[in-house]
Structure 1
Amino acid sequence: MVRAWYMDNEVTDQRLEHHRSPPQYIQLDELFKKTGVEYFQLDADTYNVDGKLDRIRKDRGYSYEDEIICSKDCLPDYDNKLKTFFTEHLHSDEEIRFVVDGSGYFDVRDGSDEWIRIEVVRGDLIVIPKGIYHRFTLDSNNYIKAKRYFVGEPIWLPYNRPADDMIVRKEYLQQLQKGF
């Protein structure tokens, strides 16, 4: 089950939890209200036959799927890729990740521009809205296997911060003000 908490801005090792002392955890409904990030719990052993993922994909129009393994052994140019993933950016499409194995962290900015760290583990599916500033890193296990979903052909472009003039960013901020 996913955990989320506010984190300090100082990052000396991005793979550690780095939360305030004591940690300020937030509930999933609060995470959604503050960021638009959605969460689904799936069974990593039965997702391909139980129909839950199929319903999510159909309801949201996800037509493209692939899989990524992030580990030193499997990801070409591992160190540079992790730096790229951890650079604060946004996308023009939702970022959907279903963790099949392993674990990691997605960090997202709330409406006050504070970091919220989302720990994802096996069975977690999260949807990061288009236009939100975010980043990803592995945890100290240095391994995650995740399925990625898209509506239509994937768009892989990250737009590093600042990207405040992009229409997708402005639309996200409007949605944030109206409420998710």
Structure 2
Amino acid sequence: MTAVVGRDSSARRLAESVHDPEMPMLTLADLGVLRGVEEGTDGSVVVTITPTYSGCPAIATMRDDIERTLKAAGFSAVEVKTMLTPPWSTDWISEEGRRKLRENGYSTPSPAPRRTAGPVPLTLTVKPREVTCPVCHSANTRLDSEFGSTLCKALYRCMDCLEPFEHVKEI
């Protein structure tokens, strides 16, 4: 396939416009899961995405939504590939994506932990996070559940305004 990989290709713009099925205020570009778009001169497109988790249940929907969007725009053959290396990180969420999360009541992730070579330390407790309430901006928050509505979110409560909220976990 002869590829047109330019940042401004129509296939890229279309793929960048697809929304995340679990946090629909974000596009796949905002979330940072869209890794590459190669547009062939024959009307074919290869899109590469990286899921937020290797077992992310939304990956099939992302793949279907990308394919449906590109085919509706007239691209004849669409292939969506999954790339697991390097693994996705919350650091890949764009500033625009972080702004959209805040505007929709989410607490945004701090910088992701740095990965190192060698053994992964086993911890049996949750590492405390510095989480700020998206409503009143207080740092006086409490973890209610490490498990939110999706794998990538945890449930917190602000101890000042008492509002519950979701925090996007650092990965």
Q: Specify the TM-score bucket, using the shorter chain as the normaliser.
A: under 0.3
| TM-score normalised over the length of structure 2 | 0.20
| TM-score normalised over the length of structure 1 | 0.20
| Bigger CA radius of gyration | 2
